[in-house]
Structure formats: structure tokens, C-alpha cells
């Protein structure tokens, strides 16, 4: 109770101090249909390809953890700059066309008003809801950044991290262990490619051939899929397009796909949270919505710290 009180205070503080100029009704006068246009565009895209919900949520995470939520992840590389999106950690990001389409429609209504960073945050919100997750309103008014450099992606977490590495990295961004687990719950959507977890399947360490935290028959089925190569995909849980608790059930059964997923069940501090979410989706949804809203406020740029890009793939 006391912990959640302090958490709320913290969230309010982050909102007020970190993002003075952001507000829920930021575009109410200047572009009243912006929010709805993003929702319609996302829904239309997801009807065609439901797997893009995962892509849109991941795009928001990879945007916010590198240079803050400023759409730096959308910028294309140029002759003299290799941008974030060309980093190995970002090569499998998906959903860029959905953002482009929403931006195009919004520019027709109100040119130069709505930032790409806000569109990314709104699209992630809509993707979560479309997949059956919680609906949450988010403050808007982020400006787009002018910097996107491959070397900055060093701030993204590695899939072979253990829980203390993850806790440290997330703590540096202002998140506690509970929020780390809630945000990792995003892996209730989508899939991972074998290149990101194959080290768990053979020559694991000096003692074990296979990662001992992996369920043995699940390890065999992963090996069968991965015989097809590093790009073969395995869903994080048995409902890859549904935002639900199945990811946490997978962790409880030793069926977390990435080492960075399963480690959340190995560490007693995070295991308690995993078990809580596995039992109670209302609790997971509530915490996820709080944590992802907070993530959406990371190092946001305001006023002339940024710009509203005309084309999300290029600085003005
Ligand atoms: C805790 C640290 C995290 C690590 C180490 C991590 C790592 C990864 C990796 C390696 C993949 C698979 C990429 C591929 O094989 O193509 C992935 C996918 C994904 N990640 Fe994370 N991630 C983390 C946290 C998050 C967070 C906080 C979110 C969002 C809030 C997120 C959202 C996603 C989604 C939705 C996918 C599936 C993408 C798709 O199917 O297209 N991840 N992540």
C-alpha cells in the first residue's frame, strides 16, 4: 500500500518535472483528430497483419530507451550518418510503414503540428489495446529529435542479460524491479529469432550443454525450430498476438524464450512479481499501463529541444 502510494507520487513527479509541456489534450485545438487518426490507421494495419501489434510496441520501447522518446529510431541512415535503425539490435524492428501512414494522414489535416514521437507512443498504446490489453490515455507534446546514431543503441538491453544486469539498466532509466517485470510483460506479444537465444541450446557453459533453466522438452523443440537458421522465429508464448498473462505462465514452466525472460523467474525478487502477474491479469494490466506510460515520458524533448518532423524518416 505504502509502496504503491510512493509509486504514484513518483509517477506524478516524473510527469510534472520531466514533461512540463506535455498534456493529455495537447492537440485538442491544433489537431483534434490526431489521436483518432492514429487509432484508425493502427486498427486497419492490424486487421491485415495482427503480428504488427508486437512490432509497434517494440518500436516505442527502442525509441524511448535511446535518446528518449523522440522518434530517433525512425530516422534513415544517410551517407554520413549510420542511424539507430541500422544497429543489429534494431534490424528486426517492424511497423515503420504504419507510422508513416498515420503521419501522412495527419499532415494532410494539420501540417507540421503532430510529432512522430507522439505518433509512435499512440500507436503502441493502440496496439496494446487492439491485442486485448489495457487502454490508457497518454500525455502528448513530445518533440522529435535531430540525432540518431548507431552507437547510441548500446543502451538497449541484451537478450543474454541476467536479472541484475536488467535491474541495473532499468534502474538507470528510473524503473524498479516490479516495473522491469511489468514492462518485460510486453513479450506477451511477438516472437524472437533463434540468433537471440541459440546460445542457450548448446555448449551453454562449462557444466551444462543446455541452459538448465530451460524446460528440457521445450529446449528440444527450440532446437528443432532453430535447425532452420538464425532467422527462424519462436513466439514468446502460446498466444503471440494476444496481450495476456501467458508470457508469465511460460516463465513459470521454464519456457521463457530469451535468457533475459527466464532470468526474471530465477531471481527471487522478480519471481514474486512474475507469480503475481501469472495469477492476476488485472494487476499485470494496471502495472503495465503505469510503467509503459512512464516509459513514454523518458527524456522527452520540449520546445526548441526538438522539432516536428515533416517526414518521420528525416530531420527537417
Ligand atoms: C527487459 C529487457 C528486454 C530485452 C533483453 C529484450 C529483447 C528482445 C529481443 C531479443 C527480441 C526479439 C527480437 C528478434 O529476434 O527479432 C524482443 C522482441 C520484442 N520485444 Fe523486447 N526486450 C526487452 C524488453 C522489452 C520491453 C520493455 C518491451 C516493450 C515495452 C519489449 C517489446 C518487445 C516486443 C513486443 C517484441 C516482439 C517483436 C516482434 O515480434 O516483432 N521488449 N525483445
The 10s digit of each residue's pLDDT in 99-137 is: 999 999 999 999 999 999 999 999 999 999 999 999 999
pLDDT of residue 18: 44
The minimum-distance atom of ligand 1 relative to the CA of 295 is 30
Q: Are 143 and 115 in contact (CB under 8 A)?
A: yes
173 is in an annotated binding site: no
Helix axes 34-48, 116-130, angle to 10 degrees: 50
218 SS3 class: helix
125, containing H or E segment: helix 116-130
Nearest of 189, 231, 209, 53 to residue 126 by alpha carbon: 53
Give 37: exposed, middle or buried? Use CB within 10 Å, 0-12, 13-18, 19+.
buried
State the Rg of the chain over Cα.
19
pLDDT of residue 19: 42
78 SS3 class: strand
Q: Are 173 and 299 in contact (CB under 8 A)?
A: no
Give CA separation, 204 vs 8, 160, 174, 201, 257, in Å.
41, 12, 32, 7, 15
Indicate the range of 102-106, 219-223, 302-306, 311-315 predicted with least confidence. 302-306
pLDDT of residue 5: 45
Residue 143 sits at φ, ψ, to 5 deg, of -100, 155
Residue 144 pLDDT greater than 60, yes or no: yes
Q: Which of 190, 239, 251 to mutate to test the pocket of ligand 1 (most atoms within 8 A of CB)?
A: 190
Separation of alpha carbons 228 and 217, rounded Å? 18
152 is in an annotated binding site: no
Q: Which of 127, 169, 192 to mutate to test the pocket of ligand 1 (most atoms within 8 A of CB)?
A: 192
Residue 7 pLDDT greater than 70, yes or no: no
Q: How would residue 153 be classed by pLDDT, with cut points 50, 70 and 90?
A: very high
Mean pLDDT of the chain: 94
Looking at the chain, the whole-number percentage of residues with pLDDT higher than 70 is 94
Query: Could you tell me if the CB of 297 is within 6 A of ligand 1?
Result: no
- Rounded to the nearest whole angstrom, what is the distance from the C-alpha of residue 186 to the centroid of ligand 1? 7
The model's pLDDT over 177-234, given as tens digits with 9 standing for 90+, comes to 999 999 999 999 999 999 999 999 999 999 999 999 999 999 999 999 999 999 999 9
DSSP assignment letter at 51: T
Separation of alpha carbons 61 and 189, rounded Å? 13
256 is in an annotated binding site: no
pLDDT of residue 14: 44
pLDDT of residue 155: 86
Looking at the chain, the whole-number percentage of residues with pLDDT higher than 90 is 93
Query: Could you tell me if the CB of 68 is within 6 A of ligand 1?
Result: no
In this structure, the dihedral spanned by the alpha carbons of residues 42, 46, 49 and 53, taken in order and rounded to 10 degrees, is: 80
Place of cell 538448465: 212
pLDDT of residue 52: 98
Residue 277 pLDDT greater than 50, yes or no: yes
DSSP assignment letter at 234: E
DSSP assignment letter at 85: G
Count of C-beta atoms within a 10 Å radius of residue 305 = 14
pLDDT of residue 28: 96
Separation of alpha carbons 6 and 16, rounded Å? 15
- Can you read off the three cell numbers belonging to residue 110? 494539420
233 SS3 class: strand
Whether the predicted model's global pTM rises above the 0.85 cut: yes
Residue 257 pLDDT greater than 50, yes or no: yes
The model's pLDDT over 14-35, given as tens digits with 9 standing for 90+, comes to 444 444 489 999 999 999 999 9
Query: Could you tell me if the CB of 133 is within 6 A of ligand 1?
Result: no
**Domains, the chain, ordered by start:** 20-156+298-305 (1.10.520.10), 163-291 (1.10.420.10)
- Mean pLDDT of the 66-88 span: 97
Amino acid at each position: 500500500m505504502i509502496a504503491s502510494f510512493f509509486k504514484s507520487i513518483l509517477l506524478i513527479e516524473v510527469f510534472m518535472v520531466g514533461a512540463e509541456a506535455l498534456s493529455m489534450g495537447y492537440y485538442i485545438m491544433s489537431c483534434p483528430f490526431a489521436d483518432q487518426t492514429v487509432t484508425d490507421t493502427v486498427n486497419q494495419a492490424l486487421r491485415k497483419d495482427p503480428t504488427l501489434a508486437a512490432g509497434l510496441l517494440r518500436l516505442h520501447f527502442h525509441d524511448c530507451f535511446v535518446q528518449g522518446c523522440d522518434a530517433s529510431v525512425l530516422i534513415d541512415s544517410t551517407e554520413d550518418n549510420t542511424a539507430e535503425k541500422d544497429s543489429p539490435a534494431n534490424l528486426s524492428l517492424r511497423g515503420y510503414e504504419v507510422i508513416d501512414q498515420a503521419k501522412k494522414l495527419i499532415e494532410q489535416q494539420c501540417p507540421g503540428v503532430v510529432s512522430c514521437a507522439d505518433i509512435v507512443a499512440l500507436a503502441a498504446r493502440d496496439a496494446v489495446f487492439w491485442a486485448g490489453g489495457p487502454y490508457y490515455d497518454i500525455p502528448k507534446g513530445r518533440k522529435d529529435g535531430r540525432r540518431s546514431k548507431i552507437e547510441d543503441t548500446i543502451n538497449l538491453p541484451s537478450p543474454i542479460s541476467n536479472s541484475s544486469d536488467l535491474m541495473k539498466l532499468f534502474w538507470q532509466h528510473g524503473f524498479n524491479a516490479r516495473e522491469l517485470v511489468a514492462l518485460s510483460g510486453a513479450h506477451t506479444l511477438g516472437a524472437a529469432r533463434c540468433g537471440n537465444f541459440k546460445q542457450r541450446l548448446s555448449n551453454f557453459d562449462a557444466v551444462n550443454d543446455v541452459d538448465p533453466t530451460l524446460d528440457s522438452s521445450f529446449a528440444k523443440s527450440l532446437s528443432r525450430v532453430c535447425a532452420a537458421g538464425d532467422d527462424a522465429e519462436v513466439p514468446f508464448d502460446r498466444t503471440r498476438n494476444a496481450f495476456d498473462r501467458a508470457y508469465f505462465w511460460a516463465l513459470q514452466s521454464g519456457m521463457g524464450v530469451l535468457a533475459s525472460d527466464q532470468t526474471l523467474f530465477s531471481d527471487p525478487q522478480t519471481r514474486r512479481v512474475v507469480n503475481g502477474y501469472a495469477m492476476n491479469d488485472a494487476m499485470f494490466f494496471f502495472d503495465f499501463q503505469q510503467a509503459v506510460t512512464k516509459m513514454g515520458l523518458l527524456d522527452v524533448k520540449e520546445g526548441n529541444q526538438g522539432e516536428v518532423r515533416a517526414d518521420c524518416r528525416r530531420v527537417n
